[in-house]
Amino acid sequence: MATPITGRKGRFYADVSAGANGSAQPIANLNSWSVNATTDRTEVTSFGATSKSYVAGLRDGQGDFGGFWDTDGTLYNTTDGNPRKFYLYETTDITGNYWFGTATFDITTNGTVGGAVEVSGSWAASTDITRVSA
């Protein structure tokens, strides 16, 4: 039986180098991430069918992340439109389980007088997104 895990040991790595030619590094101060792995579906229902039918199309990978802005600002490098390597670990306790691929990134920052400066962002696949399982 599978055992649930806590998200507190999750980790998001990305290539934050100028020009996207470096290695993926852990992104500091993040506290959330998501992966949306979907597949296009095309309806192919024919006359006389008793239920709808679909065929699978292309796979897609997108996701989000969020947390607190890191003062070194290197995360902003990811918004240059270059595909960048990334890795998402559900937990660093099981380093053989992770998602990876290359993606383009968008970033939003938000600050208020009474709170920490926050960062949120999204990514969209530039290559196949793969999940490795130990």
65 has pLDDT over 80: yes
Count of structural domains, the chain = 1
pLDDT in tens, 4-50: 999 999 999 999 998 899 999 999 999 999 999 999 999 999 999 99
Q: What pLDDT is attached to residue 121?
A: 96
CB 65 within 8 A of CB 123: yes
Helix (H) or strand (E) holding 99: strand 98-110
| 96 falls within a domain | yes
Conformational region of residue 81, where left means phi above 0, alpha means psi within -120 to 50, and beta covers everything else: left
CATH number, domain of 128, equals 2.30.110
Q: What pLDDT is attached to residue 73?
A: 83
Query: Could you tell me which of 119, 90, 120, 93 has the C-alpha nearest to residue 13?
Result: 90
| 80 falls within a domain | yes
| 101 falls within a domain | yes
Domain that holds residue 107: 7-44+51-132
Query: Could you tell me which of 121, 110, 127, 129 has the C-alpha nearest to residue 16?
Result: 121
**Residue found under tokens 């290539």:** 15
Query: Could you tell me which of 82, 81, 105 has the C-alpha nearest to residue 13?
Result: 105
R_g of the chain, CA atoms, integer Å: 18
Residues 58, 37: Cα–Cα separation, whole Å:
11
| 121 falls within a domain | yes
E-strand ranges in 3-97 read: 11-14, 25-26, 30-43, 54-68, 84-89
| 16 falls within a domain | yes
Cβ contacts of 108 within 8 Å, gap of 6 or more: 119, 120, 121
| 2 falls within a domain | no
Q: What pLDDT is attached to residue 3?
A: 86
Q: What is the mean pLDDT of residues 95-108?
A: 96
